[in-house]
Structure 1
Amino acid sequence: MLRPRIIPCLLVHDKGLVKTVSFKSPKYVGDPINAVKIFNEKESDELMVLDIDATVAGAEPDYKLIASLAAECRMPLCYGGGIRTVAQAKHIISLGVEKIAISSAAVENPELISRIAEEVGRQSVVVVLDVKKRMLSKEYDVYVHNGRKNTKRNALEMAQQMQALGAGEIVINSIDNDGQMKGYDITFASRIRDAVSIPITILGGAGTLQDIEKLLGACGVIGASAGSLFVFKGTYKAVLINYPNVVQRDEIIARALGK
């Protein structure tokens, strides 16, 4: 039976682990491999690692880093950053990564999703949509290149298009809420949940475990992802890798789903 997933999201910049606020001002928080080791010990449900340099720089994925992450990781691993071809996607999967995440390339070349899904299976294809609310509107636009370019494409419609093309999962990454730690955009998360039938993961805004519980209570069996929540601790945001233990996770899910 499917159950909600609580997913740390790690951002890689200049080969280090960083955290951003509204996709800006990356703050160094440690070494990616060390972070993976800690999340292994804490038995994380899944792990998402996004290289925020590769696409903007037009660089190849860092296969050496990916191989190291995959070799260390004892949980399902999703990796994104710089993936623009079927060959790149297949190579990353061959390194031991369960899912590949595509963002800018999926928006700019949607047929790539279908081609990759045919080669590696749609269960391994994740489309990350970086979204931002339009001024004086309830609608959201999709942005690319680390939130620098507005495609002026409707986020709900694009999620549905990606599902039709063969995406196995949609990640909604909120630019407005990134690093704010004030809670998820539950209203839009619920709209996405109603718009597509494939698994979704919501990223951006979690500041407490209660925020995750509220999200799952509103949307049910989805992925609840967070960055700052799992790398910072306390009022002054001291760097400390953390994650709820199995009992805490079960309690969060039980309360959220009313079980």
Structure 2
Amino acid sequence: MVKKIIPCLDVKDGRVVKGIQFVELKDAGDPAELAVFYDQEGADELVILDISATVEGRETMLDVVKKTAASISIPLIVGGGIRTTENMQQLLDAGASKISINSAAISNPSLITEGAKLFGSNKIIVAIDVSWSEDDQDWFVYTHGGQQKSDWKAVDWAKEVETLGAGEILLTSMDCDGKKEGYDIAITKRVKDAISIPVTASGGAGNVDHFLTAFTEANADAALAASIFHFKETSIQKVKDYVRERGVEVK
């Protein structure tokens, strides 16, 4: 299976930002400009997440999606604040290739099934933000930008969303996010082993070796990163060269 390298643009008020464990946000540039850069760099797909996704910000986000989609040739995944199939339709019409839902999928699981029926499973990604619970000795799913713990254990929810019709899972470790110490291999592998749809590892990439580990030890189908690409600590091409030289098939 060919592995994918995916940069992620967290967008707030029309600008790309990056933080640590979902807080302490720093400005990282203009979404459309960064998107063009990553397209030229060899990214396989691009994710845009509207992290402040309030109802008031929806129009601005549609403009960002239109502008970004028009300027790149790779698939564009859009997430944040999507609560209805109408929202999905608007974003797909604006140029999104796939839709990523998170909090709304937990509060209204039928949205996954409705979206898959209307647009196809291949268009519906469920983003799962997880954190380890010492009390429960397991990973739990969080919603609302990592602020609210749900009752779902990560592996159980991953199985559920596959059953409901999701085509992919974007799995982010909140514990590792922005720390640059590596992906959470344990939970990524647990989720990947439990389901048959593709899993993208997210949260924690700090160097080229972390991508290799996500692919070889967790068997992730794709690896997503933000700050190490935005701040030019490494490049998509360097990551691809590194993992390819070590036997991992990439585009």
Superposition TM-score, scaled by structure 2 size: 0.93
- Quick one: distance in 2 between partners of 1:219 and 1:256? 15
Matches within 5 A, 1:180-219: 180-219=179-218
Matches within 5 A, 1:116-195: 116-195=115-194
1:111-135 deviation per Cα after TM superposition (whole angstroms, max 9, x unaligned): 0000011111000100001111001
Aligned residue for 1:184, secondary structure, equals: coil
1:60 aligns with 2:51: no
The one of 221, 226, 243 aligned to 1:252: 243
TM superposition shift of 1:137:
4.7
Which amino acid is 1:252 matched to? V
TM superposition shift of 1:254:
5.0
TM superposition shift of 1:138:
3.9
Gaps in structure 1 of 5+ consecutive residues? 235-241
- Quick one: distance in 2 between partners of 1:204 and 1:221? 13
- Quick one: distance in 1 between partners of 2:242 and 2:10? 28
Counterpart for residue 15 of structure 1:
14
Gaps in structure 2 of 5+ consecutive residues? none
Query: Measured at CA, do residues 216 and 63 of structure 1 come closer, stay the same or move farther in structure 2, by a change above 3 Å?
Result: same
1:124-171 deviation per Cα after TM superposition (whole angstroms, max 9, x unaligned): 100001111001554111111111111131111011100000000001
Cα RMSD over matched residues? 2.0
Counterpart for residue 92 of structure 1:
91
Which amino acid is 1:198 matched to? I
- Quick one: distance in 2 between partners of 1:187 and 1:18? 28
Superposition TM-score, scaled by structure 1 size: 0.90
- Quick one: distance in 2 between partners of 1:8 and 1:243? 10
Percent of residue pairs bearing the same amino acid type: 35
Q: Conserved in 2, the CA contact under 8 Å of 1:213 and 1:256?
A: no
Q: Conserved in 2, the CA contact under 8 Å of 1:83 and 1:89?
A: yes
Q: Conserved in 1, the CA contact under 8 Å of 2:2 and 2:249?
A: no
Aligned residue for 1:225, secondary structure, equals: strand
Query: Measured at CA, do residues 248 and 24 of structure 1 come closer, stay the same or move farther in structure 2, by a change above 3 Å?
Result: closer
Counterpart for residue 226 of structure 1:
225
Aligned residue for 1:152, secondary structure, equals: strand
